[in-house]
Structure 1
Amino acid sequence: MLFLQDVAYAHPNGDLLFAQIDLSIHKNDKVSLIGHNGSGKSTLLKLMAGILQPTSGNVKSDSKPYYVPQITGRLHDLTVAQALGIDHKINSLKDILAGNVTEKNLAIIGDDWGIEERYQKAFSHWQIPELDLEQAMDTLSGGQKTKVYLAGILIHSPAIVLMDEPSNHLDQVARQMLYEYVENTSNTLVIVSHDKQLLNIPQTVYELSQHGIKLYGGNYDFYFEQKHIENEALSHDIRSKEKALRKAKELEKETMERQQKLDARGKRKQEKAGLPRILMNSMRNDAEKSTARIKDIHTEKTGAIAREVSQLRSERLDAGKMKIDFDHSGLHKGKILVKAEQVNFSYLERNLWTTPLNCQITSGERIAIKGRNGSGKTTLIKLILGQSQPTEGAIDSANIKTIYIDQEYSLIDNSLTVYQQVQHFNSGALQEHEIKIRLNRYLFGQTEWTKPCSALSGGEKMRLVLCLLAIANQAPDMIILDEPTNNLDIQNTEILTNAFHGYEGTLLVISHDVIFLNEIGITRTIDLDLTAGHTSMDQYVD
């Protein structure tokens, strides 16, 4: 059992991330934990794992959870064995087999004499038998790193497993293995993910938000239906409050106009009556105070309603409704943009593809580059962009405007503020107020204009990139996306999906997220798992 009681967590600078979190997860439960980027999902998972300590409250578990971290950035120079937490046992086993049978080595091994056989079996299962335990984690691909941590489940046989975005970086074969594990295991699971296919397996969803944590008794599809109902009710509340606000403002205007007429009539009567100036001044002051009190009452009332409307609007999920208008590419559909003939690329004098690659990309297409980890997807992108040159064959690219959006959002200069960054893309000489209108449209309020780009989350960087594309004078002829959903929550993935519905240029995408590929309308694949150069004209279905 995993038990959280009245848990709160504040950042080192004192900013509160969440509070009053109560959660009980029982043996064999399988739970999805979802929420927007920045809501604290990964932090909550680390609290459950014991990696972080709560600012207040209690976290208890019947056994030590096994934690599969989200793969981002460097891993502090850990070896594979250190990342798995088996380095001491492996080293002691090697010492014992070499004749160094000490009490210390025996104590470290305990009864776990099968550790070597177990890790080899786990590596074989996750299709990474070639990895060495002394190899640095930073030398591995994202998919290999994730597989190492997933192999740790078989090595340690934990009762509780906590997974943070486990399907990120995995190819479709490994994703299917992950889905089967989640479906069939008797482990207690808590999964943080934006992968809808994965989220549909557990039958319990917890949503973490600024209001705390809320239980939905069903899989992700059930949660989505319930959120739709909630959002409809929220929209109704917003419309009711907006109507009440309009009425309150109208009443305030009518009341003030009536009071002004009364004050003016009273003043004329006083002047006709010939009252002393001192008495007239006193009566005028009393009237002004009365008017001010009436105005304050109405201002307070309209202000309260306006705050309620603002709060309700901030709670409404409008990801799918965000309208993003790209200018259209000037290229006619069908123009050949890229043509590869008998192309291959060598690493250490070994060809990447068994058969040279032949493919063609024409204007207006939506193509997915498909393949297992290590099949050469990113290499193909670099060849198309001219960042690398083929060691065999030739690749010709038309003189077009191409935007490459990688997983790190390298298009963004982290040394700039948000406002400075959009100014760099302001080729159409938009006025300051026009830029700020667009920033607000992409959910960057005034308080974020001076925020350094280095402090933005993955979802914020994605929205900023979309804003940059919209502010630029003309949409690019081709946009290349490399695993675009890896660092996005579900809301930001929907924003990204919605953005490209209106884009008429060429879209080239590397992604293992089948649902995302289908939603953006992929019509053709270049499959690097098959004989190099074979392409499929079928609708993308993995």
Structure 2
Amino acid sequence: MVVLQNVGYAHPNKDVLFSGIHLSVTKQQKVALIGNNGVGKSTLLRIMAGGLPPASGVVKLDSPPYYVPQLVGQFNHLTVAQALGIAEQLQALHDILAGHATEANLALLDDDWTLEERSADALAQWGLAGLDLTQPVEALSGGQKTKLFLAGMTLHQPDIILLDEPSNHLDAPARRRLYEFIQATTSTLLVVSHDRTLLHLLDSVYELSRRGITVYGGNYAFYQEQKQLASNALQEDVRGKEKALRKAREVERETAERQQKLDARGRKKQEKAGVPTIMLNTLRNNAEKSTSRLQGVHAEKIGAISQELHELRQELPATDKMKFGFDSSGLHQGKILVTATGINFRYAETPLWAQDLSFQITSGERLALKGPNGAGKTTLIKLLLGAAAPASGTIHRALGKVVYVDQEYSLLATELTVYEQAQRFNGTALPEHEIKIRLSRFLFPKDDWSKSCRGLSGGEKMRLMLCCLTISSQAPDLIILDEPTNNLDIQNIEILTAALTDYRGTLLVVSHDQVFLEQIKVQRTLELL
């Protein structure tokens, strides 16, 4: 069981990340912990894992948890055995087998005589067969590092498992293995993830926000239904408040016009009746005060409705606030953009692909580029872009404007501010206020315009990239995206999905996220083996 009571955390600069967090996870429960980037999901997981002390509150766990972190580069200085937490036991086993059966070694080993065999089996189950336990973690790829920590779950069989974005950097076979493990395990699970396929496998959804933890008593599908109902109700409230605001302004205008007519009619009667000038001035002042009071009443009412409407709009989902407005690609549908005939690439004298590749890409298509880690997806993209030449075969390109969005969003210049970056894409000389309006639509308020691009999160970089594409004078004919949903929260994945749905050009997407591929309506797959 996992229990958090009134838990809070503050950054070293004293900024409060969250406070008053209450959470309870029962034995064998499988929980998804979701929320927008920056609300503190990973921090909360680290507190539960014992890696961070809370600023306040109490954390109780029935047994020591096994923690799989999102960022595994911090373990590069360790060996595989050290990362698995078995280095001391392994050394004790070797010492005993070498004749040093001391009490200390026997206590360390704790009768786990099959430790090496179990470690090898666990690594093999996660696609790391033959991995040397003395090898440095630094020598492994990002996907292999994640698999290493996942193998620790199989090896240690912990009662409580904490997973932070476990499917990041995993290829399709490893993801399937992870899904199978989650379905089969009897351990208590608490998982931070944006992987919708994985989220559907968990029993409950706990949403972390600035207001604390909201518990949804069902799986992710149930959570989506509840959020949609709430969104529909909010949209109805917004429409109702917009209608009330229009009505209030109409009443204000009609009242002002009616008052002006009454005042004018009154003045004419008074002038005809020969009312003295002093009395006319007094009557005029009284009429002006009355008009001013009426205007004040209406202005107060309109101001109150406007404030309520502003607050409601602030609660709208991000995708409802944005207007993408992608221009259409200049290419006609069906034009052949790429023709590859028998191409291959070689490292030294070894061909990258067992079979040469032949394919075409036509304008308007939506393609997924798939394959296990190391299959050569990035190399094929370089061949398509002309950044590398095939060792054999031919490739003909008739590409117009191409945008390649890699995992680091390197199209963005890190030395520029958010506003300067947007201006760099301003090919039609849009005025300054229009650029700022578009930045605001993509959730970059005034305080963010002077932020350095270097310090932006993955989700912020993605939103800025989309904003820049809408500012650009012409939509790209081809957009290539390399693992675009890695490190994005669910909100930003929805934003990206909506943008790509609006786009009418050609898409080539490298992704293991099947839900994302279905939502952006991928029509064809290029599979590398």
- In the alignment, is the contact (CA less than 8 A) between 1:320 and 1:495 conserved in 2? no
Aligned: 1:311 with 2:311: yes
Is 1:62 the counterpart of 2:68? The answer is: no
Distance in 2 (alpha carbons) for counterparts of 1:246 and 1:56: 48
Alignment map for 1:44-193 (pairs within 5 Å):
44-71=44-71, 75=75, 77-98=77-98, 105-193=105-193
Which amino acid in structure 1 is aligned with residue 177 of structure 2? M
Q: Is the 8 A contact 2:72 2:146 kept in 1?
A: no
* 1:272 and 2:278 correspond: yes
Q: Which residue of 2 aligns with 1:482?
A: 482
Rounded to whole Å, the distance in 1 between the matches of 2:423 and 2:74 is 31
| 1-structure distance, mates of 2:464, 2:247 | 37
CA distance in 2, matches of 1:125, 1:108: 26
Distance 1:112 1:16, change over 3 A: same
Amino acid at match of 1:272: I
Show the counterpart of 1:42: 42
Q: Which residue of 2 aligns with 1:418?
A: 418
- Residue in 2 that maps onto 1:453: 453
Structure 1 residue 255 displacement after superposition: 8.6
CA distance in structure 2 between the aligned counterparts of 1:274 and 1:357, rounded to whole angstroms: 94
1:211 is matched with: 211
User: What residue number does 2:384 align with?
Assistant: 384
Contact 1:320–1:494, Cα closer than 8 Å, also in 2: no
Contact 2:33 2:191 in 1 (8 A): yes
Q: Is the 8 A contact 1:71 1:142 kept in 2?
A: no
2:471 — aligned with what?
471
- Partners of 1:102 and 1:393 in 2: CA distance: 65
In 2, Cα distance between equivalents of 1:524 and 1:150: 32
> What one-letter code is carried by the residue in structure 2 that aligns with 1:328?
S
Please give the alpha-carbon distance, in whole angstroms, between the structure 1 residues aligned to 2:115 and 2:109. 9
Q: Distance in 2 between matches of 1:399 and 1:237?
A: 47
Letter in 2 for 1:234: L
Distance in structure 2 (CA, Å) of the matches to 1:322 and 1:451 = 20
CA distance in 2, matches of 1:298, 1:77: 68
Aligned-residue offset at 1:247:
5.6
Tell me by how many angstroms 1:75 deviates.
Answer: 4.7
What pairs up with 1:294-373 in 2 under 5 angstroms?
A: 302-319=302-319, 322-373=322-373
Secondary structure of 1:369's partner?
A: strand
Residues in 2 aligned to 1:254 and 1:320: alpha-carbon distance in whole angstroms: 33
Q: Secondary structure at the match of 2:430?
A: coil
Post-superposition shift, 1:102? 5.6
Find the aligned partners of 2:51 and 2:258 in 1 and give their Cα distance.
65
For 1:228 and 1:3, the matched residues in 2 are separated by 29
1:239 equivalent to 2:243? Answer no
Instruction: Specify the alignment match of 2:230 in structure 1.
Output: 230
Instruction: Determine if contact 1:422/1:467 at 8 Å carries over to the other structure.
Output: yes
Give the paired residue count.
521
Change (3 A) 1:401 1:64: same
2:404 alignment counterpart:
404
Q: Which letter does structure 2 place at the counterpart of 1:371?
A: G
What is the alpha-carbon root mean square deviation over aligned residues?
A: 3.3
Q: Which residue of 1 aligns with 2:523?
A: 523
Deviations 1:113-148 (A, max 9, x none): 433222211111011114333434343333212211
Distance 1:120 1:322 in 2: 50
* Cα distance change, pair 133–72 in 1 and its aligned pair in 2 (3 A): closer
Per-residue CA deviations over 1:8-66 (Å, capped at 9, x if unaligned) read 22222222222221110010001111112222222221122122222211111111111
State the alpha-carbon separation in 2 of the partners of residues 406 and 206 from structure 1: 31
- The residue that corresponds to 2:492 in the other structure is 492
Q: In structure 1, list runs of 5 or more residues that go unmatched.
A: 530-542
Residues 322, 498 of structure 1: 8 Å contact kept: no
Answer whether contact 1:66 1:158 (CA < 8 A) is retained: yes
Deviation at 1:344, TM superposition (A): 2.2
Kindly state the Cα deviation for residue 341 of structure 1 after the two structures are TM-superposed: 2.7
Partner residue, 1:200: 200
Distance 2:77 2:259 in 1: 75
Cα 1:94–1:312 shift into 2, 3 Å: farther
- Which 10-residue stretch deviates more, 139-148 or 460-469? 139-148
The one-letter code matched in structure 2 to 1:53 is P
Structure 1 distance, partners of 2:299, 2:55, is 39
1:504 correspondence with 2:510: no
| Distance change >3 Å, CA 353–CA 182, structure 1 → 2 | same
1:288-344 per-position Cα deviation (integer Å, ceiling 9, x unaligned)? 8x9999988876665554333222212221426744222222223333322323322
Per-residue displacement from partner, 1:332-372 (whole Å, max 9, x unpaired)?
A: 33333223233222335432211222222222221111111
Rounded to whole Å, the distance in 1 between the matches of 2:249 and 2:363 is 53
Map 1:255-270; keep pairs closer than 5 Å: none
- Secondary structure of the 1:173 match is helix
Taking structure 1 as reference, are residues 174 and 270 closer, same or farther at Cα in structure 2, changes over 3 Å only?
farther
CA contact under 8 A between 1:323 and 1:498: conserved in structure 2? Answer: no
Q: 1:399, CA displacement in angstroms?
A: 4.8
Identical columns (%): 58
- Structure 2 CA distance for partners of 1:261 and 1:82, relative to 1, 3 Å: farther
Task: Give the aligned partner of residue 23 of structure 2.
Answer: 23
Cross-structure match for 1:533: none
CA gap 1:388/1:232 in 2 versus in 1, 3 angstroms? same
- CA change 1:238–1:297 in 2 (3 A) is same
> In the alignment, what sits opposite 2:8?
8
Change (3 A) 1:356 1:217: same
Amino acid paired to 2:121 = K
499-508 vs 482-491, greater mean Cα deviation: 499-508
Distance 1:61 1:41, change over 3 A: same
Contact 2:383 2:389 in 1 (8 A): yes
Q: TM-score, normalised by structure 1?
A: 0.86
Partner in structure 2 of residue 540 of structure 1: none
Secondary structure of the corresponding residue to residue 343 of structure 1: strand
Name the residue aligned to 1:532.
none
Displacement of 1:92: 4.1
Give 2:33's aligned residue: 33
Kindly indicate whether the alpha-carbon contact (under 8 Å) linking 2:76 and 2:136 is maintained by their aligned counterparts in 1.
Answer: no
Conserved in 1, the CA contact under 8 Å of 2:206 and 2:214?
yes
The answer (yes or no) to whether the contact 2:252–2:298 under 8 Å persists in 1 is yes
Return the offset for 1:182. 0.9
Tell me the SS of whatever aligns to 2:218: coil
Q: Is the CA contact 1:71–1:145 (under 8 Å) kept in the aligned structure 2?
A: no
Any conservation in 2 of the 1:329–1:476 contact (CA below 8 Å)?
yes
Secondary structure of the corresponding residue to residue 430 of structure 1: coil
Shifted more, 509-518 versus 343-352: the winner is 343-352
SS at match of 1:145: helix
Query: Would the aligned equivalents of 1:88 and 1:108 in 2 still touch at CA under 8 Å?
Result: yes
Distance 1:206 1:272, change over 3 A: same
Structure 1 residue 252: Cα displacement: 7.1
3-state SS in 1 of match to 2:435: helix
CA distance 1:374–1:201, shift in 2 (3 Å): same
Instruction: Rate the CA distance shift 1:77–1:409 in 2: closer, same or farther, 3 A.
Output: farther
Question: Could you tell me how far 1:85 is from its partner in structure 2?
Answer: 2.7
